[in-house]
Amino acid sequence: MIAGYARVSSKEQADNSHALEQQIERLKAFGVEQVYVDVESGRKDNRADFLRLLGDLSLISQVVVTRLDRLSRSLPTLRKAIDQFSRSGVTLVALDDNLDTNTASGKFHINILGALAEMEVDRLSERVKHGHQHHRDRNAAWFPIFGYRKVGDRLELDDAPFLCLLTGETLSKAAIARELIAIFQEKRSLRKTLQAFNERYGIQRYNTPGRKGRGGLGFGVPGLVAWLNNPILRGHIAYNRYRNQHNDHAWDIRYNTHPDHRLLSDEEYNQIADLLQWNSEHGASFRAKTIHPVSGLVRCGECGSGCGCQTSKWRQGVTYWYQCLNYRERGCRQKQMLRESDIEAAVIDALLERSEAIANLAAVADAPSEPPELQALRAELRYYQAAPGHRAAAIVAELQAQITALTQHGVQTTKDQEQNRDLLLACFSDRRTWARIMTLAERRDVYRALVERVTIRDGRVVGVSLKV
């Protein structure tokens, strides 16, 4: 049998340029009886039809490709395939390269062409890397997210008319983006936000691949999370984000690239990020309609597991109890439950005590000291600033970017700590004020901001860990 092999690197090449179709037609015109096809990178050696071709060599007398690099762009893989062809008595024909694998010069020619193909891929990779680095050096933006447009290398809010409602009101993408943020801040839930958003705009989502909601407004829960976490909303841009979607510490953030086109301040984003994190960690365990101020904070002192809320009805009303979730599966010995009111009383006592301690501290402000990591970076920066040569300049730029990012993080951390202290002193000046002016929802939000965890054991609170 005469077999042919055709390959393109991407689906776009196959669909748009018809490169794959052209290869197959040329192979069939040569007299190929069966064509093996892959849409994969030529650097990979685990392509499905490529491996199937190597497995069928006992049935094949000749393998035909349009060019040698269609078979492989990796020289070791190419040599391995040609060795298998030779052992099986199979002749390789490359229509555009005029090859004959039965001669020594033909084998030598194959090695040269394979090395050139590999070098071409490496050079392309180098050009792409240099292009990306040049892009980063200019702090240039890649693609705009919803609510923004790209003007040159910079991002700005997209205030152009985008959507006309049945009421006659015309909205821009930037206005809709602001509204989406406001809905989330009000609803405090991703799904409730999307429900309200879709009810207003009548969005229909499709499960059929390739179809989108009308006008591109079909947000899902993962998409909304990624959008809210995008630094573009805060006036920054980030590189390496898509490869490290769940690890923002690996993002290369360039601060204040478009400060006049923010949709979120850093303070607003910190509140949103805390809420997203909280919902991610605790949302699945506490779905009751009743608001429980200490839900998600209570942990078992025996096994460290979370404690769930249960209800008991008495003549006096409804009482809420917390019990170790592991006890239900007999994974913990802590059977005894504790009233929610007793847990909250212990939390208030701890917060009042901490508030009094902070208020009684002498108001002597020590000079803020930089963290050791920042001091080390500044020392390294001074060394390379004095070093000669152009290589030192690149290192200096990288160190300056690291110092800026670390300084911004330290400033934000200090702000968060000061806000928590101010919140503590404002809310817990005395117990009566706290109990009288706060609703259940407000108490829940304050506890989450100030309390790390509450530990219970043997039917009593054994520890309250605070964030301040």
Q: Which of these ranges, 44-58, 331-345, 387-401, has the smallest mean pLDDT?
A: 387-401
Query: Residue 151 and residue 46: Cα distance in Å, rounded?
Result: 42
Residues 6+ away with beta carbon under 8 Å from 79: 111, 114
How would you list the strands of the sheet with 460-466, edge to edge?
298-300, 451-457, 460-466
pLDDT category at 463 given cuts 50, 70, 90 is very high
Domains in the chain: boundaries: 2-137, 148-282, 298-466
The reported pTM is 0.50
| Topology at the third CATH level for domain 2-137 | Rossmann fold (3.40.50)
Q: Which residues are catalytic?
A: 9
Instruction: Report the 3 state secondary structure along 23-52.
Output: HHHHHHHHCCCEEEEEECCCCCCCCHHHHH
pLDDT above 90: residue 86: no
Within 13 Å and on the Cβ side, how many CA atoms surround 103?
7
Predicted pLDDT of residue 101: 62
Binned at pLDDT 50, 70 and 90, residue 455 comes out as very high
Average pLDDT over residues 265-280: 88
> Does residue 355 register a pLDDT over 80?
no
Statement: residue 160 has pLDDT above 60: yes
Angle CA 400–406–412, to nearest 5: 135
Range with lowest mean pLDDT among 264-273, 280-289, 452-461 = 280-289
Residue 90 scores a pLDDT above 50: yes
pLDDT for 173 = 92
The segment with the largest mean pLDDT, out of 147-151, 376-380, 394-398, is 147-151
Question: Which pLDDT belongs to residue 322?
Answer: 92
Higher pLDDT, 445 or 430: 445
- What is the tens place of the pLDDT at every residue in 224-240? 898 999 999 999 998 88
Domain 148-282 fold is: Hect, E3 ligase catalytic domain fold (3.90.1750)
pLDDT reported for residue 356: 73
Confidence class of residue 213 from pLDDT cuts 50, 70 and 90?
very low
Task: Report whether pLDDT(135) > 80.
Answer: no
Task: Label each residue of 62-127 as H, E or C.
Answer: EEEECCHHHHCCCHHHHHHHHHHHHHHCCEEEECCCCCCCCCHHHHHHHHHHHHHHHHHHHHHHHH
